[in-house]
Chains A and B, each alone.
Chain A
């Protein structure tokens, strides 16, 4: 009876606790259902040699990163120096998935453009960007229509997937990789996967 006045206070504190916890969550981060599952197979044209293609299976046996990028993506600019540093450390090859290079750029209407023209433009823009900012990628592939992106559940650029020797996705990083995420997440996990074989 005497503690009755505490009831609203306690209810308030519980509610405030829930709301405070909610503030720490990032609603943009959608957990990927692909974690610990085989990475979707793809075969795409290479950015450096468009006549040749590259398939996911070619990375079998290696621990590697698949980084989704595009020249129109502003956050990729923030992330890029970190990738260049990571590549210099040589701990894991980074494959670039160049995502909708032309179509993602609102300045260009690619709807009525023949695929050849669009591919040419994509190659020119993507190569120019790598020449200007440095190329951390073992190689990049061209996902012109974003179809492979959909298979990987990509919904924003940049995104990065850590893939193990058996081709399973072990981690998905949403948003730009920061030096902290390299030290705290990528480097230790890569080492761990390499040790596990």
Chain B
């Protein structure tokens, strides 16, 4: 908090000027375009399956029905997928926060043999993702016997070089004097880290945590590779592979999709101020 300039309260609230009216109308129009697909998904989920595929199509259901939502819970494994997503995302976020914060601090503020080389290797790792090396990563995980397990889904998502880099940049910006005073009072590295650095870094850690959670919750490719078991699938996978394979039931599919998106939307509504502040703080934006 103390490191960056205090947030500039840009302007006090003003009355409606012609310019503001034009901008607001423009914003409303653009937002409508952005929200239209979601509105359509919502309306579709409230139609019956036969009405959903009627030609010509129409926005509002003639018969409002919760039947697709009901069927979703009765027939699908949707609650399993939801729990799996939650377990995987929470574990990934917790592990990433811990290891990335420690590593970012280690690289930013401590000295050890080979630091430069290791840092270079980690930065090179920014270019490696499951998309680039999916097949060798799969055979590695297979060798460890982690195919179709929670650990197989979780651990390979826990080494994001990007998050280390973001926190490394942030820790570099914290004034050294803060730590040195504590060292002289006899505090060790670990104590300094947990009692001084971590509290100072809360906005950055929040941003890293939230973005890790979003990307893990929404990750499709890696769980798709590592599990074929419908009981172990996460939301995006279950919806894309299982629900599609029965021949698409559009109303149900839309209901499932909205279910999958809902938790993150709730998180964002509550934390959006912190997210934007976090993006600014982490130096993601300032680079």
A associates with B = no
